[in-house]
Structure 1
Amino acid sequence: MQTDILTSVILPAALFLIMFGMGLSLKWVDFSNVLKTPKAVAVGLIGQMLLLPIVAFVIAIALQLPPEIAVGLMIIALAPGGATSNMFTYLAKGDVSLSISLTAVVSLLAPFTLPVLTALSMTYFMGQGTEFSLPLGKTITQLLVITVIPVALGMLFLKYWPNTAAKIEILLKWFSIAFLFLIIALITLKNANSLGSFFAQAGLATLLLNVIVLILGYQLAKRARLNQAQAVSIGYEVGIQNGTLALVVAGTLIGNATMMIPAVTYALLMFVSGAAFGWWLKKKQSAL
């Protein structure tokens, strides 16, 4: 798989629009909700910022993944949630406000945590002599430009033009999901002969990561005695990551097409596992 205009121009531009759309749905009250439900937010952050990368690291070691595939898996695990996790939370009758708050907080932290931990992962799995690098200062700046700044612009737009923002936000929310489908379809078509190889290299690892953390996130919330709606939200926030951002980091910022493979297989599988998790939750609730 090769990097091209898709990864160098289209992906970053689309991510900017997606994050702008997220900003259109955010008000300062969403951040104040973090203070109103500190326990739920703390559990969600522990699950997403700590549990998720640890599980990815263990899977990479246990399956003895090739170095670049292992780093790609870590990038997925270090990405925040997004519109897809919010959508699944809504469909599964979770706490949408908590889901949006967690997505917002982790998205603001990701430009700082993701480059540092990705660089450490590259050093661990690929060694010091790799031809690929991730300059921390430059990467943090780039991620701020395509994630945090558009979110801030979206929030300002919502403040001054709320009616227009509401209409645009709905369009961009569906655009973010449709674009991920489109980008995966384009990558799949372009690399049709290699798709089997992609799943052979990363399919099992990404499926295990997705399923394990969906369940662990949910169970972590239940063990913390959070209510069902909060547990559903945390399950999806920990279990469904921003595949577009992972593709941008691997393909655009690092420029390593092989590292994009886990993001591709993950994005194809997460809709199936996310829907299956929702079905399991519904069946579990109906049995009570």
Structure 2
Amino acid sequence: MSALTTIGLPVALGIIMFGLGLSLTPADFARVGKHPKAVIVALACQLILLPAICFGLVVLFQLPPVLAVGMILLAAAPGGTTANLYSHLFRGDVALNVTLTAINSIVALFTLPLLTNFAISVFLPDSEGLGIQFTKAVEVFLIVLGPVVLGMLVRRLWPRFADRMDKPVRIASMLILAIVIVGALISNRELFFNNLGSLAGITILFCALSLTVGFFVPRLFRVEPRQAVASSFEIGIHNATLAIVIAQSVLGNEEMSLPAAVYGVLMFFVALAFGFLVRRAVPAGSAAKEPAATA
């Protein structure tokens, strides 16, 4: 495993999560009380429906066991910060996105190890020592929550500095992530291209289904359109970086990270197409002005 993967990926994730922390305040968690139905429905979709859908797709596509676990790991990952941008572009409730991302990032600390270990027990029952044990769960906890808490602390102590750093940190995180992913793909190009054909279909379908579930299930429960748009992107755009880091750095399996790597590229195009389809559901003048930190 190259130094670019072992060092670069955790650093990229750390910067991304630190940037998320810079945009969060305690009010983002307290906001749950204002929109409990939207939050509860979105979390139910994220934690129950999506893993079930992903499990069905894995069986339908008959993926090799390691790639099957990688898909479940991806499904268990919380929403990515890119969801905020898409929600902003397509008239979603960005404040709800920030709230869902914050809550999901904490809930996933417990649900992600459980779902990953379940997938390993189903698809790789004979693999010794592969799984997220307590010490590895603590590692995931520190990788995810540590930078977020640090970012929130910086915002609390130096709010103006946090506002100034928000955009540079986002740009830096995306550049570092792009470099790391390209480097990882080059070093594992044979493995990547050998599996691209089998992974493109399932990752595109999973992303499309995630976005669809994230929009229409809340609408069935009469969640208002802007919140449904926010929910669709939060549920449909997973934190592929986190899934890659856990697969490669925590579980030490590069092949397991391939579904997230393929998904991480294709999801941008699927989400963009979906955004143009659902934006008609939100009247042009209905998007309220969002705080600068969440845009």
For normalisation by structure 2, the TM-score amounts to 0.91
Q: Does 1:220 align with 2:217?
A: yes
The residue number in structure 2 matching 1:71 is 69
In structure 2, runs of 5+ residues without a counterpart are 285-295
The residue number in structure 2 matching 1:11 is 9
Which of the numbers 268, 278, 282 marks the counterpart of 2:279?
282
d(CA) in 2 for partners of 1:21 and 1:237? 17
Contact 2:87–2:97 (CA<8 Å) still a contact in 1? yes
Q: Does 1:31 align with 2:29?
A: yes
The residue number in structure 1 matching 2:84 is 86
Residues 254-278 of structure 1, C-alpha deviations (whole Å, 9 max, x = no match):
0111101101110110000011111
User: Where in structure 2 are the equivalents of 1:156-235 lying within 5 Å?
Assistant: 156-235=153-232
What is the total number of aligned residue pairs between the two structures? 284
The residue number in structure 2 matching 1:54 is 52
d(CA) in 1 for partners of 2:89 and 2:179? 22
Q: Give RMSD over aligned pairs.
A: 1.7
User: Where in structure 2 are the equivalents of 1:100-115 lying within 5 Å?
Assistant: 100-115=98-113
Residues 14-69 of structure 1, C-alpha deviations (whole Å, 9 max, x = no match):
21121111111000100010111110000110111111111110100111110000
Task: Report the AA paired with residue 243 of structure 2.
Answer: A
User: Where in structure 2 are the equivalents of 1:119-130 lying within 5 Å?
Assistant: 119-127=117-125, 129-130=126-127
Which of the numbers 140, 145, 148 marks the counterpart of 2:145?
148
d(CA) in 1 for partners of 2:192 and 2:23? 36
Contact 1:184–1:267 (CA<8 Å) still a contact in 2? no
d(CA) in 1 for partners of 2:283 and 2:113? 43
Percent identity for Structure 1 against Structure 2: 37
d(CA) in 1 for partners of 2:169 and 2:50? 27
Task: Report the AA paired with residue 12 of structure 1.
Answer: P
d(CA) in 1 for partners of 2:35 and 2:280? 27
Task: Give 1:286 deviation, angstroms.
Answer: 7.6
Contact 2:12–2:177 (CA<8 Å) still a contact in 1? no
Task: Give 1:132 deviation, angstroms.
Answer: 5.0
Task: Report the AA paired with residue 17 of structure 1.
Answer: I
d(CA) in 2 for partners of 1:46 and 1:30? 19
Contact 2:191–2:255 (CA<8 Å) still a contact in 1? no
Task: Give 1:284 deviation, angstroms.
Answer: 5.4
Which of the numbers 241, 248, 252 marks the counterpart of 2:249?
252
Contact 2:9–2:245 (CA<8 Å) still a contact in 1? yes
Task: Report the AA paired with residue 219 of structure 1.
Answer: F
Contact 1:211–1:239 (CA<8 Å) still a contact in 2? yes
Task: Give 1:136 deviation, angstroms.
Answer: 2.1
In structure 1, runs of 5+ residues without a counterpart are none
d(CA) in 1 for partners of 2:272 and 2:83? 11
d(CA) in 2 for partners of 1:56 and 1:182? 29
Task: Give 1:131 deviation, angstroms.
Answer: 4.1
Task: Give 1:171 deviation, angstroms.
Answer: 1.6
Residues 100-136 of structure 1, C-alpha deviations (whole Å, 9 max, x = no match):
1100101011121111210110010111x21451242
User: Where in structure 2 are the equivalents of 1:265-276 lying within 5 Å?
Assistant: 265-276=262-273
Task: Report the AA paired with residue 93 of structure 1.
Answer: R
d(CA) in 1 for partners of 2:179 and 2:273? 22
Contact 2:88–2:94 (CA<8 Å) still a contact in 1? yes
